[in-house]
Amino acid sequence: MQAKVLTIGALLCIQGCAPAHRQGIPKVEPGTIAAAPTARLDGMRLIPAGTFRMGSNYPQFADARPVHVVHLDAYYIDSTPVTNAQFARFIAATGYVTVAEQRPDPAQFPGVPADKLVPGSLVFTPPTHPVPLNDISQWWSYVPGADWKHPTGPGSTIQGKDGYPVVQVCYQDAEAFAKWAGKRLPTEAEYEYAARGGMEQKLYAWGDAFRPNGKWMANTFQGHFPDKNTAEDGYAGASPVKQFPANGYGLYDMAGNVWEWCSDWYRADYFEHSPADNPQGPVDCFDPDEPGSKKRVQKGGSFLCTDQYCCRFMVGGRGKGAIDTGASHTGFRCVVNARAAQPISGSKQ
């Protein structure tokens, strides 16, 4: 089944919201954040230059066809998603305020009543019983006060969770962090090449068997989606980084746990004409399911992935996300061009 894309506007239109617990936070524009002159490479892995077959012939992945040959120059990539601890250092250094902490702009959400436009974000809220899978509002809610420090709302916290992936970050937030760190977000091709770990056209980031020798290889959903997660892999939600085996390039959580932003605009037809050498993504976006929405590619899937609904944690799968929308299952990691990188000890992050 094709998973529906989450947008704040859609959920605001169908549910009411109470006032958020914080108002009037001073805004720091991403353009005012100073870029680090040189990225620190601690915690990054070098991905060698090479050629691979990108995309997937998996029947559910129509937008991942045709499989095509891509060449990439060498680059470094974070070995894990950016963690709460790393993001907290960015916030402390810059005073940046994430989009989820700001009151939504009425101009961006026409038709939404003003009293619903309060700071918050999207949170997975499982129902207590089975529901039809054609209505995401049955398991997603716009929660006032949900943000990176309160991933599921005002009553939640990241205290004691320094090693968890930061979530509730929209594209702008991820891009701002990357600039501060002297890095950038990966292209879709860079993410997929790294996720494959040196293997060619395997179903998963670790091979073709979902559970080789019965071992859980990624944080995904078990049980009955979306109402009952049996957490057989040890986690009913996001897990700390490095809880599952690394792939062939020494990278963790390239599949499952949290979706990760890529720099490419999303077009369902992009693979039909994408360039073979270091593709940077299309010049614009187009999603036939929602033509007016601006979306970037997301890769890797999350703790909610299941063959009952969305199995795009499989390495050739493509995700997509509205650029103004964070969620409780969405994070990111960064890359650096190998030719521009300098191995410096210590870490700004």
Which domains, from first to last, does the chain contain? 40-97+161-340 (3.90.1580.10)
Cα-Cα end-to-end distance for the chain? 38
Pairing status of strand 259-265 against strand 330-331: parallel
Q: Which residues contact 81 (CB under 8 A, 6 or more apart)?
A: 165, 166, 241, 253, 257, 258, 260, 331, 332, 333
Residue pLDDT, tens place only, 213-270:
999 999 999 999 999 999 999 999 999 999 999 999 999 999 999 999 999 999 999 9
In the chain, the amino acid numbered 32 is T
To the nearest whole number, what is the mean pLDDT of the chain? Answer: 90
Please check the confidence at residue 5 and state whether its pLDDT lies above 60: no
Q: What is the crossing angle of helices 84-94 and 171-180, to 10°?
A: 70
Q: Do residues 202 and 192 make contact, with C-beta atoms less than 8 angstroms apart?
A: no
- Reference 220, options 234, 202, 240; nearest CA is 234
pLDDT band at 340 (very low <50, low <70, confident <90, very high): confident
Task: Give me the pLDDT at residue 341, please.
Answer: 73
Q: Do residues 103 and 24 make contact, with C-beta atoms less than 8 angstroms apart?
A: no
Alpha helices in the chain (DSSP H): 8-14, 84-94, 171-180, 188-196
Residue pLDDT, tens place only, 35-59:
887 888 999 999 999 999 999 999 9
Q: In the chain, pLDDT over 90 holds for what percent of residues?
A: 81
The Cα–Cα gap between 182 and 131 comes to 45
- Reference 197, options 214, 181, 217, 216; nearest CA is 217
pLDDT band at 343 (very low <50, low <70, confident <90, very high): low
Task: Give me the pLDDT at residue 117, please.
Answer: 86
The Cα–Cα gap between 222 and 224 comes to 7
